[in-house]
Amino acid sequence: MISIPEFPSNVAAASIPPVVGIWSNSCISFVISTNGTCGNLSVGQTISVQVNVTNAPVGSINGYDLFLFYDPAVLFATTVDQTTGTVFTSILFKSIDLTQPGRVRANAASQGFNTSPNGVLFSISFNILKNGVSPISLAQGLIPGGQAQSYTVLTTPSNLAPTTADGYFTNVAGNPGPVSKFTISAKVTTGGFAIFDATGSYDPDAAAGAINSGIITYNWDFGGASALSGPTSDPVNTIRLGSADGNYSVRLTVVDKDQGFQGMRTQLFTITKKPLHDLVAQSITPTPKIAHAGDKVAVTLIVVNNGTFFEDFKLAFAYSPPATIIGTKSNESINLGAALPESFTWDTAGLSPGFYTLAANVTIISSLNNVAGFENITSNNVASTQVQILGDSSVSPLLLIAGGTAAGVAALAVAGLLLRRRRRAIASP
């Protein structure tokens, strides 16, 4: 038997995300307790726990990948059944990992899709090791981002992040164990700090006024967002985040002072990119790279938006020697993450044989997303390359060699010209 949610009459079931949750068919509850109909829960007995899916429309999922956590001092996961009585008629692939104490990882793929909206994904058998309390907790649902992290995902043509519902085991009458609760600072960006506050965690049977409401230890698992944090007695934990944005599953395990029982909670934790304005002149390509004086050379610049905003920009092309502007564009746009080709035609008529430095400069301008036209990084705004201009056969080879020697000086001249134009533009009201 599984728990089936009741939906308000004005809300369609399909609009509510699927739930992956803990259930016990024997206890008819997510709580496995001596207070219920669970039977013998003494040390040495075996219990069966189901991981169910609820509210997944028929034909909407064809597999799963998830992590489940428990207290290995109280329970020991022995076997997993991924085929009996599940919502899938035929399993194509299945895998289970029980090697790490306190953790089960299970994944499977079906040859078809789920035949029922509510039912069993798989069952786990646990041996009871001692009298005590153990959480049975699923990682909060999210799409995995490729790092070492714990998650719950239902597989469909595109992966689906469900919500999760935990359970717990207790064979100590009247003791549900400690309650794990925490909040996360509201705005979390890459490279910044995040504050995790677990002062809301408590032990229901702690004495009034007990330090930290009866909790003695807080254990944090940030699921790849940061290094695993060791046990601490401080309910508030501040960590520095890495450079990777994405979704993570944060797990807090609390331990009560009087009996050493665990409480556990997992929560979705999303890190967004730090706001950044940055356009990059990634590469400039002339075609052809060796031309005769008077040829038309097609010049293409790849502009990359490495920031986190849609940007407007202008650009200028120039060559040297002498430092000469050959074309500009004044009002271009680029989406975040995009690589945009920008092209000009360079007429080489009248140029003497030799080597020339061709350069392009991209500059962010004012827009709705960036009223001041501000850019965080300007050192990558200029791209340059060399072009050889050939004359007729009467041109001395020594002249070409001399032109090549001057190319480095020419590159500096072009960059200086473009940057002077940029400074004048910035200084203009």
Give me the average pLDDT of each 10-residue run along the chain (429 residues).
Answer: 32 66 94 86 96 94 93 97 94 93 94 94 97 94 63 83 91 90 82 87 93 95 62 87 74 93 88 85 95 94 93 95 93 94 93 95 94 93 95 46 43 53 47
Nearest Cα neighbor of 377 from 286, 279, 311 is 279
Length of the chain in terms of residues written: 429
> Using an 8 Å Cβ cutoff, are 122 and 206 in contact?
no
Topology, domain 279-427: Immunoglobulin-like (2.60.40)
**H or E segment to which residue 409 belongs:** helix 407-427
Q: How far apart are CA 234 and CA 69, in angstroms?
A: 23
For residue 416, what pLDDT is reported? 58
For residue 116, what pLDDT is reported? 95
Q: What are the boundaries of each domain within the chain?
A: 1-174, 177-273, 279-427
For residue 396, what pLDDT is reported? 43
For residue 221, what pLDDT is reported? 85
CATH class (in words) of the domain with range 177-273: mainly beta
For residue 6, what pLDDT is reported? 34
Q: How far apart are CA 216 and CA 232, in angstroms?
A: 8
**1-174 shares its CATH topology with 177-273:** yes
Provide CATH code, domain 1-174: 2.60.40.680
